Amino acid sequence: MPYQYDIDSSQKIYLDNSDSLTLITLASGGPGQQQQAVTQLPTGPWTEPPQVARVGGGVWVRCVTAQGTLVWQIQHGQISTADAAAWPTDQAVPMPTAQSAAPAMAPMAPMAPMQPMQPMQPMQMGDMQMSANPMTMRMGNMTLGMGHTEASGPTSGPASSTASDSKKFCTQCGAAVGPSDRYCGSCGHQLQ
Ligand SMILES: [Zn+2]
């Protein structure tokens, strides 16, 4: 997590610890004419949050790591190491966390444009299968569909055509006869 301390309106200190490195950035100047001094040290991870103290006309920063205590003095736009034994404990305050990353750090990559939605691919889960266009879902031998009906089972044509095709009536007496009957079962009339 980066830390930030504003020395004044035109000078800021950024402090960050990434794994084994401590990165100190001193940014000065306004927008467009900003200058940065960066110090990077292989300190190892911090064991305490960093502290900051104002000493005279400068600012001191302290990091505590497993390898020892490190103190830097920032004065006149320069970062220099200072004697850890001279750390002004009674003037030190915790260094505030930064609202944004130090400007010396790698800028955020521009957001990649959204990829258009890919058409839905058939999806198979166990005995369930889903596919789009037409939207169908199969589970075992059951099929649910939308927008498209698969023909299965009895024909779904008009009932009247089914009746006229499969049923006949005697032209003599009007009794129902079978489609393959040659004689009326009621009156014996020859049908064909
Ligand atoms: Zn008949």
Last residue of a domain, one of 75, 94, 113: 94
**Distance between Cα 168 and ligand 1 center (Å):** 11
Range of the domain at 84: 3-94
**Distance between Cα 172 and ligand 1 center (Å):** 5
**Distance between Cα 158 and ligand 1 center (Å):** 28
Query: DSSP E strands: which ranges in 84-150?
Result: 93-94, 123-125, 128-131, 136-139, 142-145
pTM score over 0.85: no
Structural domain count, the chain = 2
User: Does some domain include residue 155?
Assistant: no
**What's the count of helices (H) and strands (E) in the chain, helices before strands?**
1, 15
Low-confidence ranges of the chain (pLDDT < 70): 31, 100-137, 139-141, 143, 145-166
Q: Which pLDDT score is estimated for 165?
A: 54
Q: Which pLDDT score is estimated for 95?
A: 93
**Distance between Cα 135 and ligand 1 center (Å):** 53
